[in-house]
Amino acid sequence: MVLYKLEDFEPNYRDTFEGHDIKGLGVYTQGTDEKIGTVSDILVDDEGHFRYLVVDLGFWIFGKKVLLPIGRARIDYNVDRVYTIGLTREQAEDLPEFNERQALDYDYEEQVRGVYRQPVDYTRPLEASTPLEATIPVDTTHQQAATTPTYNRDSYNYEHEPSLYGLNEEDHQTLRLYEERLIANKRRQKTGEVAIGKHVETETARVAVPIERERVIIERVTPADAGTTVSGREADFREGEVARVEIHEETPEIRKEAFLREEVRVRKVVDQDTVETQESVRREELDVNSGNLPIEER
C-alpha cells in the first residue's frame, strides 16, 4: 500500500481544516500530559485517508521520527495538542525509526503495528473529541492475546484494524448547512442580421453645351463715290460671277463615362453594458434545541 505526504497529495489541505495545520502540534501521552514529540507530517493512502502521523521525538530523542497510527491519535485544537491513545513513552522508544527517504513497505508497517498491538490497559476519555479521534476499546492482556489475528502482506487492509486506523464517526456527526448563490453567466445569441448590397437607379441627367452656328448676312450699302463716272476698263461687266461662302455650325456630342463616387465600409463594434437581475436565494440556518444543556458554538 502506497502512502503519501499530505501536502504532496493535497497542497490545499489546510482549507479542509478551516485553516488549522496539524503539523507542528505537540504530541502528549493521554492522561499524563507527558510530551512525546511534535507532529512533523501526515501520511495518507491513495484515496486520501489519514493513516499515520509522523512524530518527531527530537524533544527527548534527537533526530528520531516514528509513526503514530491515526486511530491512536486525538487532536485537540483548543490547546493545540495531539494526545496518543494507548501509547506510552516507553513504547515510543521501541518504535522503528521512520526514514522519509526510504519507501514504506508491509514489513516496516508490521513492525510499527507490532508495537501498538502490545497489551495495554487504558480507557477512552469521556470529554468531547476532535475530528481525528478514534474509538479504542478497553484492552487487557487476556483479551489482546485472544483476539489478535494473523495478517499477511497479500490480504492486509487498514480496515482490518479499526483500533489503529478507524475514526469514531458517532462522536463526529456533521450537519451541513447549504445556501444558494446567484451565478452570473453569459450566453451569446443571434438577435438579427444586417444585409448590405447595391442596386442601380436610373435618372435623367441634363447638361448644357454651348454651340455655334454660322449664317450669311447680305448687306447692301451705297458707297461714298456712288454716281461717279468710271472708265470702260473699270466697268468690267461679267455675267454669271458667283461669290461662295461656307456655312458651319456646331452640334452637341454627348457620351457617358463611369467614375468612382464613394466607398462603403462595413464593420462591427461591441457596446459594453451591465444588466442587473435579481432572484430569491435560500440559505439554511442552524436551529439548536438544547433544553437546559449548555452549548458552546465555535
Residue from 62, 36, 65 nearest 52 by CA? 65
Give the model's pLDDT for residue 68. Answer: 93
Which is nearest to 175 in space by CA: 16, 284, 282? 284
Q: Is the dihedral of CA 22, 75, 48, 45 positive or negative?
A: positive
Bridge partners (DSSP) of residue 16 are none
Residue 28 in grid coordinates? 502528549
Start-to-end Cα distance in the chain: 37
Residue 55 and residue 27 in contact, taking contact as beta carbons nearer than 8 Å: yes
- The predicted-structure confidence for 113-172, as pLDDT tens digits, reads as follows 888 887 654 444 434 334 443 333 334 333 444 455 677 788 888 888 888 888 655 434
Q: Is the pTM of this model over 0.95?
A: no
Q: H/E/C letters for each residue in 173-196?
A: CCCCCCECCCCCCCCCCCCCCCCC
Bridge partners, residue 43, by sequence: 5, 52
Nearest-angstrom CA–CA distance, 57 and 78:
23
Helix, strand, or coil (residue 93): helix
- Give me the half-sphere count of Cα atoms (radius 13 Å) on the Cβ side of residue 208: 1
Dig out the grid coordinates for 194 from the structure: 444586417
Each residue of 211-251: pLDDT tens digit?
999 999 989 888 888 888 887 777 777 777 788 889 999 99
User: CB 28: neighbour CB atoms within 10 A?
Assistant: 18
pLDDT tens string 37-77: 999 999 988 888 889 999 998 867 777 899 999 988 888 87
Greatest alpha-carbon span in the chain: 186
Q: Provide the pLDDT confidence category of residue 177 given band limits of 50, 70 and 90.
A: low
Alpha helices in the chain (DSSP H): 6-9, 13-16, 89-94, 106-116, 141-147, 162-165
